[in-house]
Amino acid sequence: MDAIRYKILIVDDEPDMLTAYKGLLKAAGFGVLTAVSAKEAFEVAAESRPDLILSDVAMPDTDGKALVARLKADKNTAAIPVILMSGAYKEESDQAEGLEAGADDYLSKPASPRLVAARIRTVLRRFAAPRDLDKALASNNLVLDVASRIVTQDGRRVPLTRKEFDILTTFLRRPGRVLSVAYLLETVWGYDPAEYNDPRTVAVHISSMRKKLGKTFGNRLAAVPGLGYRLDV
């Protein structure tokens, strides 16, 4: 699970809780998005496609269970796993309702940082890893093995650095989508875009990858002026 970074969307209307869980997950090596309402959470999920959503149940506009139902009903967000958390609704019946609504796990607050991170990794192992592998294997003459961190092209091993491997994995998981420099810096490097957003960091690594992957595949890593980069399919 530490081989590549995953992006988690945290949904909570309490600023202190949002800040606490954001710090917790960043310390555990995850990229983090945040939302303070179910409405905002759905919009962020549809736009950014996080790898997992960690949502409080009690919120002012729509509760977490209704958010899960809406996410699962939309084809663009249905595959995103969701973990619900609650300090107010933690009876067995509450947990059962959350799981029946489509949640993939349900935690009672307060939960230790170690437990929260462990539950997230467990759900990601069930949902994210197979998706990564399938996408990689479908990439023409290039094979990316997530578990062993080995990339081969036409049977020849490509000596990518750790960051280059993580960048390529990120593109393979989102083929055809424009990924901004800020998104790549946050997802691969873990930088806060508000504090560091130097496009040269990404440009240097993309240039190196293109050379190692050759023109046929390297040219598919297309620069989109003013927006970012895209893996053409």
- pLDDT, tens digit, 9 for 90 and up, residues 94-139: 788 888 888 888 888 777 878 888 888 878 876 655 554 444 444 6
Q: Residue 49 is part of a domain; what is its CATH number?
A: 3.40.50.2300
Residue 7 pLDDT: 87
Residue 3 pLDDT: 36
Amino acid, single-letter form, for residue 228 = G
Cβ neighbours of 49 (radius 10 Å): 16
Are 157 and 116 members of one domain? no
Give the percent of the chain with pLDDT over 70.
87
pLDDT over 70 (residue 44): yes
Nearest to 49 by CA among 27, 75, 26: 75
The answer to whether residue 195 is domain-embedded is yes
Residue 230 pLDDT: 93
Question: Which one of 106, 128, 150 terminates a domain?
Answer: 128
Q: What is the dihedral of CA 173, 174, 175, 176, to 10 degrees?
A: 180
Are 101 and 147 members of one domain? no
Question: Which one of 128, 155, 176 terminates a domain?
Answer: 128
CA quadruple 176, 181, 187, 192: dihedral positive or negative?
Answer: negative
Amino acid, single-letter form, for residue 221 = L
**Whole-angstrom Cα distance, residue 42 to residue 58?**
16
> Which residues, other chains included, contact 200 with Cβ-Cβ below 8 Å and sequence gap of 6+?
none
pLDDT band at 204 (very low <50, low <70, confident <90, very high): very high
The answer to whether residue 226 is domain-embedded is yes
pLDDT over 90 (residue 166): no
For the chain, give the mean pLDDT: 82
Are 164 and 211 members of one domain? yes
In total, how many domains does the chain have?
2
Are 195 and 221 members of one domain? yes
Domain range for 226 is: 138-231
Contact yes or no for 84/65 (Cβ under 8 A):
yes
50-75 average pLDDT score: 87
Question: Which one of 94, 128, 162 terminates a domain?
Answer: 128
Token pair for 172: 């393979």
Count how many Cα atoms sit within 13 Å of the Cα of residue 123 in the half-sphere of its side chain: 22
Q: N- to C-terminal Cα distance for the chain?
A: 26
